[in-house]
Structure 1
């Protein structure tokens, strides 16, 4: 199968590339807006620059390669930045999906789109795939709008919703909770960690596997692809500190109201994964197992 990935330089993009290269079953086209930052020789795959906000370029690249499946991981995911830079957010998270839908329609591609728990208001999570969306941030609004574009299209598609992705990859542009807690406590910094928001933290390798399972089966519809634990960030921080034997005396628990954040966060999300388990055979690691996997990668 020929698979094209958008956002191949990102955390999920890199994990997908590694998974597909390790499997060795598929022809892989990796794409990103900038140059190739993947730590793999281009003898094993094709890299093509593609700016997802450039309609013509999206059509040209997809038509050139004619993939059976597109896995769309590229997006603007900084929730506060989305709130203040709304035009850029809409361009990357909504218009780009429209361009990919058009390109998929013209080239008969199956389009797998990554979405988020932030399409929900967090009042009664965890949520299944049929729960009613009600975003409380512009980021959430943009991701929901993209989902609706797919629902109203005529192409074959799937949506993989995920939650709080963590992991480590080559030349990373953003940190995540495990790396942030580890670095802060090692440096003796005072940190506040939220204890009144619930999430299902997702190991990047698990999310990549979920996407792979959807792509291989061309399984249509919405799938929750996330971790199996429901934890608040303070609990995640404690587990991280415990694993690395770090002093937690500089770490304070705090409620969300004590933070000044531009965008509102849903208090209790988390996603239920029974459908993915049953239909796809998806089985994620626990958060404790995930910390150990990340720790092993840090040491390399």
Structure 2
């Protein structure tokens, strides 16, 4: 048995990792979940810590208490526009907290698995392989790249898992994402503005959670690209949601990125080449259509419970 600690366990990815572990799909791990506030998953099959990764002494005490063999760091400040408006706060969460984790892991030879993003790239030549050169166009991407650079110099086992536009459903519906946002707005007749000049490969949260646990189980170090296998424009993602749920498309306003006046610039076309994940992790992502069907099943269970 290896002892696994996950930070940010109340988030979408964190709860999906918890779900897989509680189901017993990765029985070789003793699990410690940690996040800010109370446990939102509310299962009794693991330890839970109220933990803010920016409180360095608190993090050190937690790791000294539980002595994990592996840490998966899913905690982040991931609102791209908020990072642009509050760069000091972004740096504290996305860089300084990671630097602290690295030091602790180096002292104890802990395998640190860190979640990163397609936004380390500028979007000019996507899709990208793991060894392509990052060139971020916003503060969020710059800070995630800075954390990656620290990890790549670390004297402990490390892995970087980059991902793209994660979507999924939680039992308390506490985390929104592009699928739920579009579905809920259009079902309520609310007009939405959608960019027509950005392309992504949306990632089902279950796929990402499983990949993270396979990385941990196999001690797979280095950088791994994990995403869905379908490339869409943001408009096409929303149009697929409309078609799937038979919603009214007249409420969509398709715009160029500049028209939205967002605080942070976005890369134009990211996307990942997934060959390394296929080969090293036996990664098998759902198609976007399959992901929408899974969301249907989960929402139906929530409504009937």
TM-score by length of 1: 0.97
d(CA) in 1 for partners of 2:263, 2:216: 35
Q: Deviations over 1:109-135 (max 9, x none)?
A: 100000000001111111000111110
Is the Cα–Cα contact under 8 Å of residues 62 and 107 in structure 1 kept in the other structure?
Answer: no
d(CA) in 1 for partners of 2:208, 2:58: 27
In structure 1, what is the equivalent of residue 60 of structure 2? 59
In structure 1, what is the equivalent of residue 196 of structure 2? 195
Q: Deviations over 1:203-230 (max 9, x none)?
A: 0000001101101001010000111111
Confirm or deny that 1:275 pairs with 2:276. Answer: yes
Is the Cα–Cα contact under 8 Å of residues 11 and 175 in structure 2 kept in the other structure?
Answer: no
In structure 2, what is the equivalent of residue 116 of structure 1? 117
In structure 1, what is the equivalent of residue 103 of structure 2? 102
Confirm or deny that 1:26 pairs with 2:29. Answer: yes
Is the Cα–Cα contact under 8 Å of residues 112 and 158 in structure 1 kept in the other structure?
Answer: yes
In structure 2, what is the equivalent of residue 39 of structure 1? 42
How many angstroms does 1:173 deviate by? 4.3
Q: Deviations over 1:101-160 (max 9, x none)?
A: 111122221000000000011111110001111100000000000001101111100000
d(CA) in 2 for partners of 1:151, 1:81: 26
Is the Cα–Cα contact under 8 Å of residues 11 and 172 in structure 1 kept in the other structure?
Answer: no
Q: How does 1:37-186 map to 2 (within 5 A)?
A: 37-40=40-43, 42=44, 44-186=45-187
d(CA) in 2 for partners of 1:115, 1:194: 23
Query: Once superposed, which parts of structure 1, at least 4 consecutive aligned residues long, lie more than 6 Å away?
Result: none
Q: Deviations over 1:237-265 (max 9, x none)?
A: 11111111112121232221211100000
d(CA) in 2 for partners of 1:140, 1:172: 27
How many residues are treated as equivalent by the alignment? 298
Q: Deviations over 1:61-102 (max 9, x none)?
A: 112111111000000000000011111100000011111111
Runs of 5+ consecutive residues of structure 1 not aligned to the other structure: none
In structure 1, what is the equivalent of residue 291 of structure 2? 290
How many angstroms does 1:21 deviate by? 1.5
TM-score by length of 2: 0.95
How many angstroms does 1:233 deviate by? 1.1
SS of the counterpart of 2:248?
Answer: coil
Is the Cα–Cα contact under 8 Å of residues 10 and 172 in structure 1 kept in the other structure?
Answer: no
Is the Cα–Cα contact under 8 Å of residues 83 and 262 in structure 1 kept in the other structure?
Answer: yes
SS of the counterpart of 2:62?
Answer: helix
How many angstroms does 1:170 deviate by? 3.3
In structure 1, what is the equivalent of residue 248 of structure 2? 247
Is the Cα–Cα contact under 8 Å of residues 194 and 233 in structure 1 kept in the other structure?
Answer: yes
Runs of 5+ consecutive residues of structure 2 not aligned to the other structure: none
In structure 2, what is the equivalent of residue 233 of structure 1? 234
Is the Cα–Cα contact under 8 Å of residues 225 and 273 in structure 1 kept in the other structure?
Answer: yes
Is the Cα–Cα contact under 8 Å of residues 93 and 143 in structure 1 kept in the other structure?
Answer: yes
